[in-house]
Amino acid sequence: MTLWFILALMTAAAVFAVLWPLGRPAKLDGANDIAVYRAQLAEVEADRAAARISESEAQAARTEISRRLLAAADAKPATVVPLGTPALRRRATALVALIVVPVVAAGLYTLLGSPNLPGQSFAERRATPTDQESIEQIVARVEAHLATHPDDARGWQLLAPVYMKLGRFDDAIKARENALRILGANAQRESDLGEALTAAAGGVVSPDAKGAFERALAGNPNDYRARFYLGLAAEQAGKPEEASIIWRELIAIAPPDAAWVDAVRQSLARVSGGGETAPGPTEKEIAAANQLSPEQRNQMIQGMVAKLAERLKSDGSDVEGWMRLLNSYVKLGEKEKARAAAEDARRALASDPEKLRRVNELIKGLGLEG
């Protein structure tokens, strides 16, 4: 009842605010007109004095304005609008409308609305599950459109990820094949197709899926998704060493905040018993180096690697540092330095079997044996 009382007060205030000016008697006051005409006379004199108009033009203007001024002065100062005029009828109509509309609206809401429905917070509304049927209807409309416009690439690209979420993998393959057909191949579309083919095969990277990922990687060597699935293909083919190398390289080039790195590390642990590689120069350092010339960039990276090597001479227990140093030497193409660092790492970590195992796995993965 408190809510209804507040709503009634608000409605009454709104109605009163509208009715108050309408209920006041209208007046025709000539005082404002007199002030306007006097101002116009002053303007005419100012224009004549400045030679903007001639004397004859000024005289004509003064005559006309004076005539209007006299008419306004003769008018009654406050004439009330008589009863029965159109203005009064308009007021009566407004009064009826302002009373009838709230009453009718309240009655209809009481009959058809839900005044007793409990409130729901915004967070609760957001938590309400989306109607699955509505998604199916949207998909059906897009499918109907594509049935008559099969070359609408945007429609196929829109449907493909929805099909993947709905578990309609065969339809996702068709959508991504059509996108490739219409728009042409690129790394993103090839990876999308490979992912759909893998999902349709129950997680097995089929030959067709592997081919799609290889084409994606050829177009973009930093396609993280293609690298991951190619590692999975190697694992499924019984080549854990190859999978280990692929995933170690993937971790090495991963952005520092990449959410998928943990999944790659878990996959790497599955094939190598828990070892993983630490990256070379950080992404931040590489980004800074990219702003330099090739010579300056090479000097910068070599300087960082030299500092790391010097630090490891005094603190040989840092296994992550040794792994980072080995990766960096390999990236710089300095295999001999990498092999020498590998022997130094083995000697420094000989008393810690777990750290030694991790370094040995990396040495093997980087091809530094022998």
pLDDT (0 to 100) of residue 166? 78
Q: What angle do CA 356, 359, 360 make, to 5 degrees?
A: 85
Average pLDDT for the chain: 75
Please compute the mean of the pLDDT values over residues 295-323 and round it to a whole number: 76
Provide the residue type at 299 as one letter: Q
Cα dihedral 208, 209, 210, 212, rounded to 10, equals 90
Q: Report the C-alpha gap between 237 and 109 in whole angstroms.
A: 68
Over the stretch 102-146, which tens digit does the pLDDT of each residue have? 665 666 565 555 555 555 555 555 544 444 457 888 888 889 999
pLDDT, greater one: 137 or 81: 137
pLDDT (0 to 100) of residue 83? 44
Q: Which of 87-101, 188-202, 261-275, 328-342 has the highest mean pLDDT?
A: 188-202
Report whether CATH 1.25.40 matches the domain 283-365.
Answer: yes
pLDDT (0 to 100) of residue 84? 47
pLDDT (0 to 100) of residue 151? 93
In terms of CATH, what superfamily is 136-254?
Tetratricopeptide repeat domain (1.25.40.10)
Radius of gyration of the chain (CA): 42
Q: How many CA atoms lie within 13 A of 160 on its CB side?
A: 23
Over the stretch 263-279, which tens digit does the pLDDT of each residue have? 888 888 888 764 444 44
Within the chain, which residue ranges are assigned CATH 1.25.40.10? 136-254
pLDDT (0 to 100) of residue 336? 87
Q: Report the C-alpha gap between 54 and 76 in whole angstroms.
A: 36
What's the distance, CA 255 to chain centroid? 20
Stated pTM of the model: 0.42
Phi, psi of 350 (to 5 degrees): -60, -30
Q: How many residues are listed for the chain in this entry?
A: 370
DSSP-assigned letter for residue 335: H
pLDDT (0 to 100) of residue 342? 87
- What are the tokens at 40? 């116009």
pLDDT, greater one: 103 or 347: 347
pLDDT, greater one: 240 or 362: 240
